[in-house]
Amino acid sequence: MIESVLYSLASIPLFAARPFLAAFLTAVLARWGVDMPFIGDSRVIIALHHSPAWFQSWGCILSLLALAAAEYWATKDPDVRGFMEDLDSWIKSGVSLLVTLALIEKEDAALIQKLQSQGLAVADLWAGVVAVGTWITAWMRRGALALIYEIDDDDDIGLASVIGWTESAFTLIGVLFLIVFPILSLVLAGLTALGLFVAQAWVRRREERRKQPCERCAAPVYPHALRCPLCRHPQAAPRAVGVFGQPRAHACEDRQAQVWQLLARKRCPDCAARLKERAVQQSCKSCGTVSFATRRELEAYADAIDARLPRTLLVCALFSAIPVVGVIPGVIYYRLNLVTAFRGYLPPLTGCLTRFYVRVLHWGLLLFQPIPLVGAVILPLMCWSTHMLYRRALKNEVQTRLAEPAVL
Ligand SMILES: [Zn+2]
Ligand SMILES: [Zn+2]
């Protein structure tokens, strides 16, 4: 009994990171753990083994495996991840609720029967506590990771990938660690929750700290915003936009170019707040400005991004002079410079499809890379083709979505 309680409590951070992977590992250990060397006689394993038969059935284990695989794919793909964000905490707490119920149910049947006469099952209550704990931990995790996704939402520099791998490894090692050192795991789980709390509070405050008072109404305004989100007063000297959408130290030079740069970093062209949806037209959550209100606006934007193409191609050609490893900085460079500007506005399904086309094309192209001379044009070709594929996807999107006369 105590081991099941301990396990469910200490595994909260694991369920908040990778719920289906954690559930799959738990079911596998419940079924086969007792036959495994070293961990077979662990009290936690024996407690897990007492879970109901349905939890240890092939059907349950295989379904969890399929869900864990889907989860891995979903966390890797920025488009799917963005789509799942709203459901995130609910799925995680739901999975932890079911697993906790499975772990406690059978073992504690006698106690439940005793308590049910009082109208309350302690197992249900406990599972509820674990589910709420998972919900809160998942919410804090999202807050802390917001910084990563703000910098690298589309995984352009691979930061999001590294975080994804780390979390999967954390869950895998965490489950094994929990079996061998249950008490220590509980302490570490508490420390993880505390760390997440501090991190998310810091990330949330950081945004507000960055802002400066508006020149007219003193409302907090981003240093690189063209207007105040509240009174719409134009700011005298907005700062330039950095590669990751952050304000830079020097002032911007051209206000029209600033509009395109803010949009290219998925920020509101007026108040510089982040545009979170994956859609061409969306109204800013801070000031209500609609991105790409007209088709002409989007065409002017696409032209402004196109103007970056020659220089980016040239830089890519220079990168391809570095044998083998030159591809990596080259790809990061053209993604940040061109692709992100279009990709962030595609809806999830179109985004996934385009990403798939690009991947297939690039595998083909990279086969030619080892050939001398031909290899030199591969990187610029990758840059050009990616740019064109995403540009076309966005144009198609605009033609279908902005076709209504009301918005033309
Ligand atoms: Zn103002
Ligand atoms: Zn705005």
CA of residue 141 to ligand 2 center, whole Å = 26
pLDDT in tens, 295-323: 888 889 999 999 999 999 999 999 888 87
CA distance 342 to 352: 13
pLDDT band at 152 (very low <50, low <70, confident <90, very high): confident
With CA atoms as reference, report the closest residue to 258 among 249, 246, 269: 269
pLDDT, average across residues 2-18:
90
State yes or no: pLDDT of 373 exceeds 80: no
Q: What is the pLDDT of residue 407?
A: 44
pLDDT, average across residues 278-305:
90
pLDDT band at 110 (very low <50, low <70, confident <90, very high): low
CA of residue 314 to ligand 2 center, whole Å = 34
CA of residue 207 to ligand 1 center, whole Å = 18
CA–CA distances in Å: residue 255 to residues 27, 214, 260 = 58, 18, 9
Q: What is the pLDDT of residue 303?
A: 92
User: What is the bridge-based pairing of β-strands 220-221 and 212-213?
Assistant: antiparallel
State yes or no: pLDDT of 109 exceeds 60: no
Q: What is the pLDDT of residue 398?
A: 82
CA of residue 267 to ligand 2 center, whole Å = 8
pLDDT, average across residues 109-127:
64
pLDDT, average across residues 101-114:
64
Q: What is the pLDDT of residue 304?
A: 93
CA of residue 152 to ligand 1 center, whole Å = 30
CA of residue 277 to ligand 1 center, whole Å = 25
Range list of β-strands (E), 215-358: 220-221, 239-241, 247-251
pLDDT, average across residues 172-191:
92
With CA atoms as reference, report the closest residue to 302 among 339, 273, 354, 357: 339
- Chain-centroid distance of CA 37 in Å reads 37
CA distance 138 to 15: 8
| Dihedrals phi, psi of 248, to nearest 5 degrees | -100, 175
CA of residue 210 to ligand 1 center, whole Å = 16
Within 13 Å and on the Cβ side, how many CA atoms surround 166?
7
pLDDT, average across residues 77-98:
86
pLDDT in tens, 345-362: 998 888 888 989 998 998
How many Cβ atoms are within 10 Å of 234's Cβ, its own excluded?
Answer: 13
With CA atoms as reference, report the closest residue to 346 among 170, 57, 49, 82: 82
CA of residue 82 to ligand 2 center, whole Å = 20
CA of residue 6 to ligand 1 center, whole Å = 53
**Three-state DSSP state, 284:** coil
Q: Please report which ligand is nearest the Cα atom of 269.
A: 2
* Mean pLDDT of the residues in the chain: 87
Enumerate the H helices of 211-294 as residue ranges.
255-264
CA of residue 32 to ligand 1 center, whole Å = 64
State yes or no: pLDDT of 119 exceeds 50: no
CA of residue 206 to ligand 1 center, whole Å = 20
CA of residue 272 to ligand 1 center, whole Å = 14
Which residue is listed with tokens 């991004």? Answer: 305
Q: Please report which ligand is nearest the Cα atom of 221.
A: 1
Long-range Cβ pairs for the range 297-305 (8 Å, 24+): 298/394, 298/398, 298/402, 301/260, 301/263, 302/342, 302/391, 302/394, 302/395, 304/257, 304/260, 305/260, 305/264, 305/338, 305/341, 305/342, 305/391
CA of residue 235 to ligand 1 center, whole Å = 9
pLDDT band at 408 (very low <50, low <70, confident <90, very high): very low
- Chain-centroid distance of CA 103 in Å reads 30
Q: What is the pLDDT of residue 406?
A: 46
Residue 223 has what DSSP assignment? T
State yes or no: pLDDT of 120 exceeds 60: no
Q: Please report which ligand is nearest the Cα atom of 216.
A: 1
CA distance 27 to 50: 11
Asked if 7 and 33 count as a contact pair (C-beta separation under 8 A), the reply is no
Q: Please report which ligand is nearest the Cα atom of 285.
A: 2
CA of residue 285 to ligand 1 center, whole Å = 16
Enumerate the H helices of 153-210 as residue ranges.
159-180, 182-210
CA distance 202 to 247: 18
CA of residue 170 to ligand 2 center, whole Å = 38
Q: Please report which ligand is nearest the Cα atom of 226.
A: 2
pLDDT band at 123 (very low <50, low <70, confident <90, very high): confident
Q: pTM for the full model? A: 0.79
Q: Please report which ligand is nearest the Cα atom of 270.
A: 2
CA of residue 254 to ligand 2 center, whole Å = 19
Q: Please report which ligand is nearest the Cα atom of 287.
A: 2
Asked if 39 and 45 count as a contact pair (C-beta separation under 8 A), the reply is yes
pLDDT in tens, 153-170: 778 888 888 988 999 999
**Residues 6+ positions from 11 with CB-CB distance below 8 Å:** 22, 26, 96, 174, 175, 178, 189
**Residues 6+ positions from 244 with CB-CB distance below 8 Å:** 150, 151, 152, 265
pLDDT, average across residues 91-118:
73
CA of residue 225 to ligand 2 center, whole Å = 9
Q: Please report which ligand is nearest the Cα atom of 230.
A: 1
Q: What is the pLDDT of residue 387?
A: 94
CA of residue 221 to ligand 1 center, whole Å = 8
CA of residue 123 to ligand 2 center, whole Å = 48
| Dihedrals phi, psi of 290, to nearest 5 degrees | -90, 125
Q: What is the pLDDT of residue 111?
A: 53
CA of residue 6 to ligand 2 center, whole Å = 47
Give one DSSP letter per residue of 22-55, joined into a string.
Answer: HHHHHHHHHHHGGGSTTTTT-HHHHHHHTS-HHH
pLDDT band at 324 (very low <50, low <70, confident <90, very high): confident
- End-to-end alpha carbon distance in the chain: 65
* Number of residues in the chain: 408
